[in-house]
């Protein structure tokens, strides 16, 4: 099983489209230079990956003479997340903080293996209303998320674990390109 999984992962990586990843690098670099905020979100493993990427951007690519990234993960504030989930609905845990914090021209990066997480989709609708640059990382066939993004990387897999592994690899490649 281990050998088969690793072979599947290794076989998926070459099939990941490169052009949208290069577009994401350009978008994030522009956001950095213009002082725009970058908001990330995801559920479960995707939340952990989003949080990990925030760490990479805040700490790992700080360079003398360059502006710092203004980046946050909307899944990181547990008290805000649970308050919205309990008092309104789980579907609003990302959209409401995004509506409060984001300004036109900011960037939102959504991670959803299926591309069909209702809370992520709702937040992307708010992002469109606020005129944010919308980026997605997904899998399967892209789900509904794909259509809500200006740039979307769809991992060519129907295995959630492979998709999540590849999402982290994509974000690490972006991190290296920005560093």
Topology of domain 2-178, per CATH?
A: Rossmann fold (3.40.50)
What is the secondary structure of 13-34 as a DSSP string?
Answer: GGGS-SHHHHHHHHHHHHHHHH
Q: What residue spans define the domains of the chain?
A: 2-178
Q: pLDDT tens across 121-168, in order?
A: 999 999 999 999 999 999 999 999 999 999 999 999 999 999 999 999
Q: pLDDT tens across 36-86, in order?
A: 999 999 999 999 999 999 999 999 998 888 899 999 999 999 999 999 999
Q: Tell me the pTM.
A: 0.97
- Cα separation, 171 vs 179, in Å, equals 12
């Amino acid at each position: 099983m281990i050998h088969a999984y690793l072979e599947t992962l290794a076989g998926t990586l070459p099939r990941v489209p490169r052009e949208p990843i290069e577009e994401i690098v350009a978008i994030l670099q522009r956001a950095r230079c213009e002082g725009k905020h970058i908001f990330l979100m995801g559920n479960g493993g995707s939340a952990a990956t989003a949080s990990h990427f925030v760490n990479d951007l805040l700490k790992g690519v700080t360079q003398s003479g360059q502006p710092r990234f203004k980046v946050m993960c909307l899944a990181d504030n547990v008290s805000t997340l649970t308050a919205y989930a309990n008092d309104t609905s789980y579907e609003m845990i990302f959209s409401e903080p995004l509506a409060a914090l984001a300004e036109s021209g900011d960037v939102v990066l959504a991670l959803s293996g299926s591309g069909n997480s209702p809370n992520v989709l709702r937040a992307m609708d708010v992002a469109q209303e606020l005129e944010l640059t919308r980026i997605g990382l997904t899998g399967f066939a892209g789900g509904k998320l794909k259509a809500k993004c200006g740039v979307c990387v769809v991992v060519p897999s129907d295995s959630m674990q492979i998709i999540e592994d590849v999402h982290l690899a994509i974000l690490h490649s972006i991190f290296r390109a920005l560093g």
